[in-house]
Amino acid sequence: MTMTAAPPEAPATHARHAPRRRLRYAGTVALFLLPSAIPLTLFTLVPMAASLWTSLHEWNLITPMEWAGLGNYTELLGDEGTRSAFLHTLVFIAGYLPLVYSGGLGLALLLNRAMAGRNLFRAIYFLPVITSWVVVALMWKWLLNPAGGMVNWALGLLGVQGPGWWTDPTWAMPSIILASAWKDLGFVMIILLAGLQAIPKEYHDAASVDGATGLKRFRYVTFPLLSPSTFFVVVISLINGFQVFDQVHVMTRGGPGGATQVVVEQVYDLTFRYGRAGTASALSWLLFAVVLLVTQLQVRAQRRWVHYG
């Protein structure tokens, strides 16, 4: 009730000064936005518009573009290479998402307790997140090297003959999934940790009073109240998953035998190996459409499973 009470003169002055004040306010906002708006326009919006334009042409990067209409899109939709690139990307996501989420959740639960060196551990697990992908991918390539890598050496000590990892078409994708999940674990952990700490202690106390044990408390209190964080993590990880590139490019270049040829690697090859920038741009937009669709579906579906407080 008090919220609706306003000084009686206010509407009059407001009306008189509003346009100018609003303009000044907009100007101030614009000024503050400028530092990020300029690079955003220059390096994101303009290239996006240009890639849309390129996608309607044939362009070998050398001679002038030639109009192709929707030719690139129809070609891609009927192309076996596109289908397998999307399939490989989906396989990556199917392995990566559960692994990174369950791993991150486990770490978050572990580091949410009172324990010595808690902050140190949090920092350590976050380190890979801020490390360059090239460094991480090279390190994993070395660890998983079937000829003298540490993982197969350790497996050998246990009497297990390690697989060919990234040199074997069957194991190449699992190798990349492993490296990716390891790197992003810290990111998921931090988000979920923040989510865990936002859950009021009273809920846990109440559940305890009602006789809920550890597992039941997690199932009926923690997990539902963590769902906004889970939602965020899933959306971000899915988008990242669709765009998987750096680790693939460094570890396998889409091989062996095309077994890890994901969509963005295909975009790279089309542009820089095959000189088909138009087709590559069209493929980028197809990927954009898929990501947009999947994200929209998630936003719709969240009503059914995300609980805000």
Partner 1 sequence: MSRITKAAATALVAGLLATGCAQGSATKGADSTPGGKVTLRYFTFSAAPDHVKDLDTIVAAFEKEHPGVDVVVETAPYDEYFTKLQTSIAGGTAPDAFELNYENFVTYAAAGSLLDLGTVADDSDVSVYAQESVAAFKHDGKQYALPASFSTVVLIYNKDLFNKAGVAEPTADWTWADEQAAAQKLTDKSNKVYGDFQPVQFFEFYKTLKQAGGEFLSADGKKATFDSPAGVKAATWLVNKVGKTMPTEAEIGGTADYDTNLFKSGKLAMWHNGIWQFAGLKDVPFGWDVVVEPGDTTKASAVFHNAVAASATTRHGKEAWAWARFLSSSGIAATTRIASSWELPPVSDQSVLAGYLKDPKPANRQAVFDSLKSIALPPVIQRQQEMQDAVTKELSNAAAGREPVKDALAAAAAKVDELLR
Residue 200, φ and ψ in degrees, nearest 5: -60, 140
CB 126 within 8 A of CB 111: no
Say which DSSP state 163 is in.
-
Q: Which of 242, 249, 260, 302 binds partner 1 (CB under 8 A)?
A: 242
**Segment near partner 1 (CB under 8 A); pick from 51-59, 106-114, 199-207, 296-304:** 51-59
* Dihedral sign (CA 14, 17, 20, 21): negative
By CB under 8 A, residue 257 contacts partner 1: yes
**Smallest distance, Å, CB 80 to partner 1?**
8
CB 61 within 8 A of CB 279: no
By CB under 8 A, residue 84 contacts partner 1: no
Task: Please name the residues in contact with 138: beta carbons below 8 A apart, sequence gap of 6 or more.
Answer: 250
Residue 21, classed as helix, strand or coil, is: helix
By CB under 8 A, residue 168 contacts partner 1: yes
CB 270 within 8 A of CB 283: yes
**Smallest distance, Å, CB 61 to partner 1?**
4
1 to each of 5, 6, 118, how far by Cα in Å?
Answer: 7, 11, 47
**Smallest distance, Å, CB 153 to partner 1?**
12
Q: Which of 58, 60, 109, 203 binds partner 1 (CB under 8 A)?
A: 60
Q: Would you tell me how many other CB atoms lie within 10 Å of the CB of residue 14?
A: 11
Between 108 and 259, name the residue whose CB sits nearer to partner 1. 259
Residue identified by tokens 């060919």 is 164
Q: Would you tell me how many other CB atoms lie within 10 Å of the CB of residue 241?
A: 23
By CB under 8 A, residue 148 contacts partner 1: yes
By CB under 8 A, residue 43 contacts partner 1: yes
By CB under 8 A, residue 298 contacts partner 1: no
CB 43 within 8 A of CB 249: no
By CB under 8 A, residue 96 contacts partner 1: no
By CB under 8 A, residue 245 contacts partner 1: yes
* Dihedral sign (CA 119, 125, 130, 132): positive
Residue 57, classed as helix, strand or coil, is: strand
Could you tell me which of 278, 241, 233 has the C-alpha nearest to residue 262?
A: 241
Residues between 271 and 290 that touch partner 1 (CB under 8 A): 271-275, 277-278, 280-281, 284-285, 287-288
**Segment near partner 1 (CB under 8 A); pick from 5-13, 15-23, 159-167, 183-191:** 159-167
Between 281 and 302, name the residue whose CB sits nearer to partner 1. 281
Task: Give the containing element (helix H, strand E) for 104.
Answer: helix 80-110
Between 106 and 256, name the residue whose CB sits nearer to partner 1. 256
**Segment near partner 1 (CB under 8 A); pick from 50-58, 120-128, 179-187, 200-208:** 50-58
By CB under 8 A, residue 145 contacts partner 1: yes
Say which DSSP state 245 is in.
-
Q: Which of 167, 196, 224, 238 binds partner 1 (CB under 8 A)?
A: 167
Question: Binding residues for partner 1, per CB under 8 A?
Answer: 43-44, 47-48, 50-51, 54, 59-63, 141, 145-149, 163-170, 239-240, 242-243, 245, 255-258, 264, 267-275, 277-278, 280-281, 284-285, 287-288, 291
